[in-house]
Amino acid sequence: MEPTSSHESLVISGLAAKLPTVKDSTLSRLVVENPTARVVVFSFDQGQELTDHAEPTPEIWTVLDGQVSFTVDGRRTELVAGDVVYLAPGARRTVVATTSARVQHVVLPG
């Protein structure tokens, strides 16, 4: 996807159909990328993970469907659809799908 303007509104629909769950895979789709926000939606098959990582800017994670095990700075929490995680800059995180799941990741570089 090409960068989007931070001065224009944007509506994106049909993401679930465009981002199916694929056996033994993690898929991602960049939804928004501009100077004020970066939004990526991930689709995980059960058991797939995003390994330990930290961003230098704040992050917001939202579970869209399914269940994930979310570890922040060594503390693990089980999350389900509708749960939200805010990560302070530099917080270390790992995400593991305990069922097939879709998760939205928002980075706020501003």
pTM of the predicted protein model: 0.90
| Cα 59-82-85 angle, rounded to 5 deg | 25
Report the domain count for the chain: 1
In this model, does residue 110 exceed pLDDT 90?
A: no
37: domain range?
Answer: 21-107
Which CATH number is 52's domain given? Answer: 2.60.120.10
Half-sphere exposure of 95 (CA within 13 A, CB side): 29
Mean pLDDT score of the chain, rounded to an integer? 93
Domain contains 32: yes
Domain contains 102: yes
Domain contains 10: no
In this model, does residue 64 exceed pLDDT 80?
A: yes
Q: Please indicate whether residue 110 or residue 94 has the higher confidence score (pLDDT).
A: 94
Domain contains 37: yes
pLDDT tens-place string over residues 14-49: 888 888 899 999 999 999 999 999 999 999 999 999
Chain center to CA of 88: 15
Domain contains 9: no
Q: Measured between alpha carbons, how far is 63 from 35 in angstroms, rounded to an integer? A: 24
Domain contains 8: no
Domain contains 14: no
- Helix/strand/coil for 57: coil
